[in-house]
């Protein structure tokens, strides 16, 4: 591909992907304002994660202050919505668990109260949020991109190398994962989430390649179960330590059951996924020089 044509491809790719990401976020933001319920909240969180992933990719090649400003705004908003999502996931688990462990009813009631408080606060925050500020930052980023891409030697090949490096990072962390240290599994989850969103972003650069997105979704679902279970255990422990009505030992059987589920159901799936994990990248589909390891996006 001639250098001039490649720059044209990159400008169209980044500008088009940026506009698409902002449009998707704006649509889900409006849906949340109209109806603040589970599905709209889930959809806006997904749109924000994809938007943030794109901004990280752009900033790794063409850094500027507008990208950092926009990324920080989205990350802060996502953090609040993630707290609500975790609380709602815990509530669903407790609806079943309280029948086997009635002692968890106090925790369940606390979660219900927290959910209502979060919903009221987030509704207010969303209503007060100025989406025009984001639109202005997107405009400035587009202007900077058009100028910067023309002045640099970044190629499509470089974007593909970044995806390869991101996958290598996942493999390295997976090999280091320890069943007795959930923080190592959490590192895999964070790296893989970045990789999956990155692959979704670069697909337009390789329109004839069929990426294994179904396999990526399967692995991310396993990682999500582990994270949800770990978060539940952590929040339950905090709740037990913060209340004095019920002795801590009364919760031991429930906590033991949660840990057993973590070990027998979720971690077993995680460590059995190795062969499938290797199918989530195929060198045959890509053309790039030898990749030297470096920090992932």
Question: What pTM value is reported for the model?
Answer: 0.83
Q: What is the predicted pLDDT for the residue at 41?
A: 86
> What CATH class is the domain 1-85+130-154?
mainly alpha
Q: What is the predicted pLDDT for the residue at 23?
A: 94
Q: What is the predicted pLDDT for the residue at 219?
A: 95
Q: What is the predicted pLDDT for the residue at 295?
A: 37
Other CB atoms within 10 Å distance of the CB of residue 2: 7
CA 77, 164, 183, 213 torsion-angle sign: positive
DSSP state of 179: T
**Considering only CA atoms, which of 62, 94, 90, 125 is closest in space to residue 230?**
90
Q: What is the predicted pLDDT for the residue at 285?
A: 54
**Helix-helix angle 105-128:3-34, to 10 degrees:** 120
Q: What is the predicted pLDDT for the residue at 151?
A: 86
Q: What is the predicted pLDDT for the residue at 232?
A: 92
In angstroms, the CA 170 to CA 263 distance is 21
DSSP state of 116: H
**Considering only CA atoms, which of 291, 278, 138, 280 is closest in space to residue 199?**
280
In angstroms, the CA 185 to CA 187 distance is 5
Q: What is the predicted pLDDT for the residue at 26?
A: 92
Residue by residue, pLDDT tens for the chain (297 residues) are 445 577 888 899 999 999 999 999 999 988 888 888 888 888 999 999 999 999 999 999 999 999 999 999 999 888 878 888 899 999 999 999 999 999 999 999 999 999 999 988 888 887 767 788 899 999 999 999 998 988 888 888 888 888 889 999 999 999 999 988 889 999 999 999 999 999 999 888 877 777 889 999 999 999 998 989 889 999 999 999 998 889 999 999 999 988 887 777 788 889 999 999 988 987 655 544 443 333 333
Structure token digits, residue 6: 């490649």
Q: What is the predicted pLDDT for the residue at 293?
A: 34
Q: Which residues contact 134 (CB under 8 A, 6 or more apart)?
A: 22, 25, 70, 73, 74
Contact status, residue 238 vs residue 255, Cβ threshold 8 Å? no
Measured distance between the N- and C-terminal CA atoms of the chain, rounded to whole angstroms? 25
């Amino acid at each position: 591909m001639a250098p001039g044509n490649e720059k044209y491809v990159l400008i169209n790719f980044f500008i088009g992907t940026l506009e698409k990401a902002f449009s998707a976020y704006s649509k889900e933001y409006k849906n949340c304002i109209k109806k603040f319920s589970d599905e709209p909240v889930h959809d806006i969180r997904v749109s924000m994660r994809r938007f943030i992933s794109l901004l990280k990719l752009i900033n790794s090649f063409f850094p500027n202050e507008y990208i950092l400003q926009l990324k920080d705004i989205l990350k802060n908003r996502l953090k609040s919505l993630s707290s609500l999502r975790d609380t709602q996931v815990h509530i669903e688990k407790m609806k079943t668990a309280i029948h086997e462990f009635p002692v968890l009813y106090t925790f369940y009631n606390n979660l219900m109260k927290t959910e209502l408080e979060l919903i009221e606060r987030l509704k207010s925050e969303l209503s007060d949020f100025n989406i025009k500020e984001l639109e202005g930052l997107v405009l400035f980023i587009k202007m900077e991109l058009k100028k910067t891409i023309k002045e640099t030697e970044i190629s499509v090949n470089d974007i593909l190398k970044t995806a390869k490096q991101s996958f290598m990072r996942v493999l390295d962390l997976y090999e280091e994962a320890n069943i007795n240290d959930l923080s190592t599994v959490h590192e895999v989850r964070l790296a893989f989430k970045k990789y999956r969103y990155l692959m979704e972003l670069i697909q337009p650069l390789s329109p004839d390649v069929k990426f294994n997105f179904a396999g990526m979704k399967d692995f991310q679902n396993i990682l999500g179960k582990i994270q949800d279970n770990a978060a539940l255990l952590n929040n339950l422990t905090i709740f037990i330590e913060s209340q004095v009505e019920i002795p801590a030992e009364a919760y031991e059987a429930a906590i033991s059951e949660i840990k057993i589920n973590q070990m027998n159901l979720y971690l077993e799936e995680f460590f059995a996924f190795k062969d499938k994990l290797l199918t989530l990248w195929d060198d045959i589909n890509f053309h790039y020089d030898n990749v030297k390891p470096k920090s992932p996006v």
